[in-house]
Amino acid sequence: MKKVDVLAFGAHPDDVELSAAGTLSKMAAAGKVIGIADLTAGELGSRGSAPIRLREAEAAAKIMGVQYRENLGLADGFFEVNEANLLKVIESIRRYQPEVVLANAINDRHPDHGRGSDLVSRACFLSGLRRINTQSEGAEQKEWRPKVVYHYIQDYWIKPDFVVDITHYMKVKMASIQAYSSQFFDPNSKEPKTPISGHSFLDFIESRARHFGRPSGAEFGEGFTVERPPLAEDLTSIY
């Protein structure tokens, strides 16, 4: 067991970076313990390869200050919300015992994102049931249910329920994204063009962060949706 404060799940390596890297970097810099669990290796991507993506994911984790990262090895494009995959996610949740879980957007252009969102959300509930037996490294795991599950926002616009100010971590966010040199803009690349490989996509990421931040008074922000209303101590703790 490796206790973390936040465990962020992504259907593919780079999902977390694109939508929540600023938030996670900010928390890591404040002393929080952060973990990432990628559901797949992104092996169906048009550019790069699974081994390359795994190396890029480790590099991105170091940039963000993430302490733990693992890949659950589900099938890119084909994983389903079934018992076998739920158990793999439950094992990860119980291994890291996060207080907060981040998951993919509830609905998005890539079907793996919404499906990954559902998979992780269900696993968070089931992980708290003691009659579900799982093991890690030969040892029986104890039940564990995170306090909250938040969903980051990806390609499709979704109105956020709250925004994290990442103004001072925007450069770290962009550096973590560009660690995936096989996927994003590289003027020397000979690989096929994709919807995310042009420089305009990086411009979109910056513009989206400005869009999230501006209404709340931040230069850059990252937006999240909730499964239940957050609990505040009093009105002065919300602004």
pLDDT digits 0-9 by tens, 70-103: 999 999 999 999 999 999 999 999 999 999 999 9
Portion of the chain with pLDDT greater than 70, in percent? 100
Give per-residue pLDDT as tens, 148-158.
Answer: 999 999 999 99
The predicted model scores a pTM of: 0.95
pLDDT of residue 119: 98
What residues pair up with 140 in beta bridges, in sequence order?
Answer: 135
- Residue 177's pLDDT is 97
Work out the mean pLDDT of the chain and round it to a whole number.
96
Between the CA of residue 20 and those of 52, 114, 179, what are the distances in Å? 22, 16, 15
Cα 16 to the center of its chain, rounded Å = 3
Asked if pLDDT for residue 161 goes beyond 80, the answer is yes
Task: State the Cα–Cα distance between residues 48 and 99, nearest whole angstrom.
Answer: 34
Q: Is the pLDDT of residue 1 over 70?
A: no
pLDDT in tens, 96-138: 999 999 999 999 999 999 999 999 999 999 999 999 999 988 8
Strand residue runs (E) in 153-220: 162-165
In this structure, the number of other CB atoms found within 10 A of the CB of residue 111 comes to: 11
8 Å CB contact between 201 and 195: yes
pLDDT of 203 reads 96
- pLDDT tens profile 6-54: 999 999 999 999 999 999 999 999 999 999 999 999 999 999 899 999 9
Cross-strand pairs, 40: 74
Buried b (16+ CB within 10 A) or exposed e, 173-210: bbbbbbbbebbbbeeeeeeeeeebbeeebbeebeebbe
Q: Which domains does the chain have, with CATH numbers?
A: 6-227 (3.40.50.10320)
pLDDT at residue 190, rounded to an integer:
86
